[in-house]
Amino acid sequence: MSENDKEQKMPLPKLNKLCKWRMVLAGWHAGTKTVEQGGAMAMRDLMDKWLIMRTENSALAQLLIKKGVFTAYEYAAEIEQEAEILDKALESVFPGFSTTEVGVEITDLKVALETMRRKRFPA
């Protein structure tokens, strides 16, 4: 086994511990449910992925900043640019909706209702 293989299989007990929060986060978002109830496992899985991605992103950013690849300011500026791109993309996925500094607004009620019907939003 090469040194690279050993690094890839390194146990991550602190990340595993952090992911225990998935149950609290899932309950907060979807309400308290048993594992067998619809959507509970999916919500826990989603929270797990969110926690891992958040941790990986923070770690990668810190490493790159410490190594001088980019500054914290440059990173923040890029996050702002990417957030704007994603915001516009979500507007095209959810026609009739847009965001402002204070929340989501319906820009066209008829279009928004059709979007919600097409996307099968709960009634």
d(CA 62, CA 43): 29
pLDDT at 98 over 60: yes
pLDDT above 90 as % of the chain? 63
Torsion-angle region of residue 113: left (phi > 0), alpha (psi -120 to 50) or beta?
alpha
Residues 109/112/117/118 CA torsion (nearest 10 deg): 150
d(CA 109, CA 115): 10
Q: What is the pLDDT of residues 17-76, one digit of tens each?
A: 999 888 888 888 877 777 677 677 888 889 999 999 999 999 999 999 999 999 999 999
Mean pLDDT, residues 85-113 taken together: 96
Element (H or E) spanning 66, and its range? Answer: helix 40-66
Rounded to the nearest integer, the mean pLDDT of the chain is 89
Per-residue pLDDT at 37: 72
CA atoms within 13 A on the CB side of 65: 12
Residues 32 and 43 sit within 8 Å (Cβ to Cβ): no
Q: Which residue has the higher pLDDT, 35 or 2?
A: 35
Per-residue pLDDT at 113: 96
